[in-house]
Amino acid sequence: MTIFVTGGAGYIGTHVILQLIEQGYDVVAADNFANSKPEAIARVKALCGYDFPFYEMDVRDCNRLSDIFTAHHIECVIHLAGLKAVGESISKPLEYYTNNLDSTIEILSAMKRYGIRKFIFSSSATVYSGENDMPLTEDSHTGSCANPYGWSKFMCEQIISDFTHANNGFSAVLLRYFNPIGAHESGKIGEDPQDIPNNLMPFIAQTTVGRLPFLNIYGNDYNTSDGTGVRDYIHVTDLAAGHVSAIKHLDTHDGIGIYNLGTGVGVSVLELVSAFEDASGVGIKKKIAARRPGDLAICYTSTTKAKIELGWEAKKSIRDCCIDTWRWQKNNPHGYET
């Protein structure tokens, strides 16, 4: 089966492509390098030893999509391309809505024209409203999103759901990722934020190699075990494996399926920092700062539905995540530019 992966040069896309190829799928990938580098694709090709077709393009370009769907017998699309920086989405809402919604609409339209019936979408835990009890389940309340990025994922989910209901035989899986961290165990691919990282793990990793002077801990007065925020951190290769399980699910199910991809375990900021210090052997300079606006105290998922219906669960530990992130960051202190 040939799978079209959008956003293939990104953090999650590179790991997804590797697993697809390891599992015997053919891959065609596309990316416009808005938040990634050609070197990422070169490294994926070197790791898997396969020169899969790659297109540098904006996936909103319907003519280029038609060219690809004419040239390759695509049976499934995994749509990871999107803008994802929460803070930037507040200052540039139109860019986020245009990019994330139009790309989804153009891809679904091209799939309809070419009779492609299987679709997997990168959604996010950010679609859940802040009022829910933990753990979050797929039936927890969505909406009331805290920023345009979150709303763009919420709206894409609605578009995909409406499209699926209107098109008999079309099937879609919405994967709501929790907090992906870690890197491929080779140390050759990993997360390479273009600017100062927004997320905790790349901030820890860059502080450890001396690119950043210290880590701000955003709040130590939450109602959690040590007062710092708690999240459900999932290794990116476990997350990638969830996409392979979703493809298998699409082989036997019509309609729409929604799955949370996380570990089911909440880990605090201080616990993650301490695990990284153990894995790297390097002490991390840190300061307690004010709470970050919009942050929840605790966010983690139930894993029951993904286990039962996808036959998938995360296997790697927080220590694995830290060891693999450290290997990537130590070998590539400046990311793919090293």
The least CB distance from residue 128 to ligand UFG, in Å, is: 9
Question: What tokens appear for 136 in the block?
Answer: 């979050």
The least CB distance from residue 325 to ligand UFG, in Å, is: 12
Residues between 301 and 330 with contacts to ligand UFG, criterion CB under 6 A: none
Residue type, 75: E
Q: What pairs with residue 256 in β-bridges?
A: 172
C-alpha 278: how far from chain center: 26
Residue 82 contact partner, candidates ligand UFG, ligand NAD, none, CB within 5 to 8 A by sort of partner = ligand NAD
Select which of 25, 149, 177, 300 is catalytic. Answer: 149
**11 among known catalytic residues:** no
199 lies in the site for ligand UFG, by CB under 6 A: yes
User: Which CB atom, from 62 or from 298, has the smaller least distance to ligand UFG?
Assistant: 298
Start-to-end CA span in the chain (Å): 35
Question: What tokens appear for 116 in the block?
Answer: 């492609």
Taken as a whole, the chain contains a residue count of 338
Residue 295 contact partner, candidates ligand UFG, ligand NAD, none, CB within 5 to 8 A by sort of partner = ligand UFG
100 lies in the site for ligand UFG, by CB under 6 A: no
178 lies in the site for ligand UFG, by CB under 6 A: yes
**DSSP reduced 3-state for 267:** strand
CA distances from 325 to 59, 212, 329, 336 (A): 29, 16, 6, 14
Cα Rg of the chain (Å, integer): 19
| Nearest residue relative to ligand UFG (C-beta) | 229
Q: Distance between CA atoms of 307 and 302, rounded to whole angstroms?
A: 10
Residue 231 contact partner, candidates ligand NAD, ligand UFG, none, CB within 5 to 8 A by sort of partner = ligand UFG
Q: Distance between CA atoms of 145 and 171, rounded to whole angstroms?
A: 26
Residue 200 contact partner, candidates ligand NAD, ligand UFG, none, CB within 5 to 8 A by sort of partner = ligand UFG
Which residues are designated catalytic?
A: 149
What residue ranges bind ligand UFG (CB under 6 A)?
Answer: 84, 86, 124-126, 177-179, 198-200, 203, 215-218, 229, 231, 269, 292, 295
